[in-house]
Amino acid sequence: MNERILSIKNSFITESASVSDTKALEILRIKYLSKNGLLPALLSDLKNVAKEDKPAIGKELNLLKNFVESSFKEIKERIDSAGSSSKETIDLSLPARALPLGSKHIITQTMEEITDIFKTLGFGVYEGPEIESDYYNFEALNFAPDHPARDMQDTFFINDTFLLRTHTTPVQIRIMEKQAPPVRAIMPGKVFRNEAVSTRSHYQFHQIDGIFVDHKVTFAELKGTLVAFAKQFYGSDIKFRFRASYFPFTEPSAEMDITCFICKGEGCRICKHSGWLEILGCGMVDPNVFKSVNLDPDVYSGYAFGMGIERIALLKYNITDIRIFFENDVRFLKQFPALK
């Protein structure tokens, strides 16, 4: 029995010397310390030892067991220590990892870009209520009582007096009621129309209206302002034209086109092969609008303009469906990081 004890001890010492990782250590544990290992088997054979020899053999077995267990513990600590020292250390001089940041919605970015341009041209920025009265939305802007825009098919009426504004132009009336000329202002905001949702139209969208009122304001000044805006926003190499149009609150009225910046005027699907893109409507303020705010149209004149933000963003970024602006799809929004 003593020879077996010595043999197992020597065998353990030899095998444990070459253990360098946790996998080898586990193999060593199974061989010597597991339920079916060499040490438990040796302890089990103690019952076969002569009675007078059991105390001495038992003592030797306990010494072997303690030796193997303590050696096993030392080897494990050595392997764990070596593993921790080989781990990658933290370099405190390295810059921190950049956190993922969101950005403003592409409509907000487009609106702010347009607003900043008009600020450089001397325009102030004003806002008004989205729930508007029939007077400010229609009557004060020279809409006749039977004008089609008053029909329920175009407007979300709340009751006989109030509605969701169909354009931001009512803010012009509110400004002129409170502020004596000269008035130079733009009015960005959300508007609503009772329209069927499709790739090119929606029941909610955004507009920017603008107005300039003073003595002897001319159509030439209107054209100069809008051309300056268009060249800053679309590029200095664009061509432009003004076409006669009609709006109840301006006379004369016009629509402004620019050369298609996709095909450079050659004709493509975006411009319907005409080479031109309509970007806004404009005109000289109608005398009846001045009368509604108690300004003498013989003393004052002015111009006004308005543009749809979604339409401008659709054209500028070659987006084919207006509905995607309102779906909050992160995959779409991530394509337009902050422009500034």
- Could you list the mean pLDDT of each consecutive 10-residue stretch along the chain, which spans 340 residues? 77 81 82 79 76 78 82 82 63 81 86 95 95 94 82 82 94 95 95 88 93 96 94 87 93 90 72 82 96 95 95 83 88 75
pLDDT given at position 303: 97
pLDDT given at position 12: 78
**Residue 119 is inside which H or E element, if any?**
helix 106-120
**Tokens coding 244:** 């006669």
CATH number for region 106-333: 3.30.930.10
pLDDT given at position 132: 95
Angstrom distance (rounded) from CA 57 to CA 30: 24
pLDDT given at position 85: 53
Long-range pairs for 308-311: beta carbons < 8 A, 24 or more residues apart: 308/205, 308/206, 308/207, 309/107, 309/110, 309/111, 309/114, 309/188, 309/205, 309/206, 309/207, 309/208, 310/107, 310/202, 310/205, 310/206, 311/279
In this structure, is the dihedral angle defined by the CA atoms of residues 292, 295, 296 and 299, taken in order, positive or negative? negative
**Residue 92 is inside which H or E element, if any?**
none
Ramachandran category for residue 186: left, alpha or beta (phi over 0 → left; psi -120 to 50 → alpha) = beta
Angstrom distance (rounded) from CA 167 to CA 209: 8
Q: Are strands 276-285 and 240-247 parallel, antiparallel or unpaired?
A: unpaired
Q: Are 185 and 214 in contact (CB under 8 A)?
A: no
Q: Are strands 204-214 and 301-308 parallel, antiparallel or unpaired?
A: antiparallel
Determine the 3-state secondary structure of 306 from DSSP: strand
- From residue 304, alpha-carbon distances to 141, 248, 290 in Å are 12, 12, 12
pLDDT given at position 74: 86
pLDDT given at position 340: 52
**Tokens coding 71:** 């050696």
pLDDT given at position 256: 93
Give Cα 50 to chain centroid, integer Å.
Answer: 85
Radius of gyration, alpha carbons of the chain: 42
Angstrom distance (rounded) from CA 235 to CA 214: 30
pTM, two decimal places:
0.67
Ramachandran category for residue 168: left, alpha or beta (phi over 0 → left; psi -120 to 50 → alpha) = alpha
Domain range list for the chain = 2-85, 106-333
Task: Return the residue matching tokens 């016009």.
Answer: 254
